[in-house]
């Protein structure tokens, strides 16, 4: 007789593990099924050259929900966050610009470029921080049912509206203007220093198939200023990102969840519009009263479920869900420290090559027409600056995120373009790091196709779908189905393709678990 659980979670990525913990604590028998031999999905640390361990997925932890950090006792489970200092160094054709967590320190740095920008910077940070703080409660809850909101939802929305109103008329006007703006236009209203504007544009555009001229991209900057649980906009994890995944798995097991690796789900079973369980590669079936998919929406609805269980309209929306991956990774094993003279002495743990908004737009132009960018934006992390145990003594790991490398190339394919891309990355880095070519002992290239194959990310999209305004909040993943439930009764989404979207926040898993438990009394009758 097939084994049966209350809830099966498809995919052991960070959101799946967060959901599993909360569901198990809610008294449900939970099984997590992960295709790979390790949990965490892109939250992982792997040996890519003998003796060198680095991130083959996410390089740093972004805005992990403070509630998740506390509820799962991650600090007691050994998770140590190491904020980069400075947070980032923006590199162009001249002196580099260091951006610190400390506003006065950044002001002092900006004064070398523009006293006007130095004077403006505190107001910029305050405005975005207040906007993010007002938005934060919306990200920590399921989107309201727009068609028929409950009294509680209406009350909650009124409270949020009053909270925004208390920010003042001028702030309200600015906040209403921001979401549809292009990030270029928004930043040009505040600053004149190109390196500063370009660096913040990268924050807003990372992982999206948009450029700084594209409408609606300014809103992508707001989440960068959300309150966080580890004291920085992004932080390294001691021992590598895989240490965070291990702690999340331990929290799930301690709560009573069962985790199986090397267990690929090939089908989500259903009958008469009601989920009944899953089928694994090899034919094993597992029964369940509910299934929560941590896979992205396209993989879930176009590959794992029976299409006859879904309406043509719903399937059309899913097929039109935008998720063309645009990020590649090149990891380097280095024989010594990659010194960046433009940034002064030492090696910054995080720097990015983004000389100007114009540079970023030209990089996007290449991708827009189906080519890997000839001069891509590089977001570079050197985790061994703060965590030297990831490499042999005196040596370093460098993880380079390469933006504007489209999943679908118009001419040729990634089998012939991958090495050319890595060579371009080396050339760009060598322009800023003297003798960089001689430092390279080995490299690992992960194109969008590789990210899809390795982590199950459809089209290699790191956020399970574009984080544009038309695919956010109550529109994510599709209109009418933004509250983690799906047209198949008992099937839920708990991954980054659901509200509030991508990044290592844990919020989709946390929110989805609460909605599943809310439905459970009805399911138990």
Domains of the chain, each with CATH number or no CATH: 4-44+240-321+466-524 (3.50.50.60), 104-226 (no CATH)
What is the per-residue pLDDT for 525? Answer: 39
Instruction: Return the HEC string of 93-123.
Output: CCCCEEECCCHHHHHHHHCCCCHHHHHHHHH
At what angle are helices 115-139 and 103-110 packed, to 10 degrees?
A: 140
Q: Phi, psi at residue 398, to the nearest 5°?
A: -125, 125
- The number of beta carbons lying within 10 Å of the beta carbon of residue 436 is 21
pLDDT at residue 125, as a whole number: 96
SS (HEC) of 26-85? CCCCEEEECCCCCCECCCCCEEEECCEEECCCCCCECCCCHHHHHHCCCCCCCCCEEECC
**pLDDT for the residue 464:** 96
d(CA 142, CA 145): 9
Q: Which pTM value belongs to this model?
A: 0.94
What separation in angstroms does the CA of 475 have from each of 62, 469, 500?
Answer: 23, 8, 10
Q: How far apart are the first and last CA of the chain?
A: 23
**Cβ 234 vs Cβ 505: under 8 Å:** no
DSSP 452: H
Give the torsion sign (CA, 32, 36, 42, 48). positive
Tell me what pLDDT residue 160 has. 57
- The residue ranges of the chain whose pLDDT is under 70 are 1-2, 145-167, 228-232, 522-525
Indicate the angle between helix axes 448-455 and 414-432, nearest 10 degrees.
110
Element at 516 (helix H, strand E)? helix 507-524
Report pLDDT for 54.
97
* Burial class for 30, CB neighbours closer than 10 Å (0-12, 13-18, 19+): buried
């Amino acid at each position: 007789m097939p084994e049966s659980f209350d809830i099966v979670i498809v995919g052991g990525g960070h959101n799946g593990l967060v959901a599993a913990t909360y569901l198990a604590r809610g008294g449900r028998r939970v099984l997590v099924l992960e295709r790979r031999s390790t949990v965490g999905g892109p939250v992982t640390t792997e040996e890519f050259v003998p003796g060198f361990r680095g991130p083959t997925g996410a390089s740093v932890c972004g805005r992990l929900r403070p509630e998740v950090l506390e509820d799962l006792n991650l600090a007691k489970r050994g998770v140590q966050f190491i904020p980069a200092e400075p947070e980032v160094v923006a590199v162009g054709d001249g002196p580099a610009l260091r951006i610190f967590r400390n506003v006065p320190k950044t002001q002092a740095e900006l004064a070398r470029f523009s006293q006007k920008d130095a004077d403006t910077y505190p107001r910029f940070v305050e405005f975005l921080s207040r906007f993010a703080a007002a938005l934060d409660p919306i990200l920590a809850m399921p989107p309201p049912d727009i068609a028929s909101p409950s009294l509680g939802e209406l009350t909650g929305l009124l409270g949020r509206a009053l909270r925004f109103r208390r920010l003042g008329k001028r702030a309200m006007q600015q906040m209403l203007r921001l979401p549809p703006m292009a990030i270029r236009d928004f930043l040009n209203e505040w600053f004149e220093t190109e390196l500063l504007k370009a660096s913040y544009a990268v924050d807003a555009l990372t992982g999206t198939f948009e450029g700084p001229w594209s409408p609606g991209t300014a809103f992508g900057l707001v989440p960068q200023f959300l309150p966080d649980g580890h004291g920085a906009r992004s932080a390294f994890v001691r021992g590598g990102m895989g240490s965070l995944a291990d702690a999340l798995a331990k929290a799930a097991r301690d709560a009573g969840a069962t985790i199986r690796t090397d267990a690929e789900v090939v089908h989500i079973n259903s009958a008469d519009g009601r989920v009944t369980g899953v089928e694994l590669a090899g034919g094993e079936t597992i029964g369940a009263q509910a299934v929560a998919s941590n896979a992205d929406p396209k993989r879930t609805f176009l590959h794992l479920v029976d299409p006859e269980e879904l309406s043509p309209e719903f399937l059309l929306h899913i097929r039109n869900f935008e998720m063309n991956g645009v990020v590649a990774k090149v990891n380097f094993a280095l024989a010594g420290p990659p010194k960046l003279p433009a940034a002064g002495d030492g090696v910054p743990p995080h720097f990015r090559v983004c000389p100007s908004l114009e540079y970023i737009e030209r990089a996007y132009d290449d991708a827009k027409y189906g080519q890997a960018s000839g001069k891509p934006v590089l977001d570079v992390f050197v985790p061994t600056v703060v965590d030297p145990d990831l490499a042999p003594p005196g040596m370093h790991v460098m993880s380079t995120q390469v933006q504007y490398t489209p999943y679908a190339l118009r001419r040729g394919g990634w089998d012939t373009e991958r090495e050319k891309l890595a060579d371009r990355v080396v050339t760009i880095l060598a322009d800023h790091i003297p003798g960089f070519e001689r430092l390279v002992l080995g490299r690992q290239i992960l194109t969008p196709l590789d990210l899809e194959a390795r982590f199950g990310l459809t089209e290699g999209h790191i956020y399970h779908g574009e984080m544009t305004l038309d695919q956010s909040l109550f529109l994510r993943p599709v209109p009418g189905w933004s509250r983690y439930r799906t047209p198949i009764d008992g099937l839920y989404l708990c991954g980054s393709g659901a509200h509030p979207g991508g990044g290592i926040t844990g919020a989709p898993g946390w929110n989805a678990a609460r909605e599943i438990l809310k439905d459970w009394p009805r399911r138990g009758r």
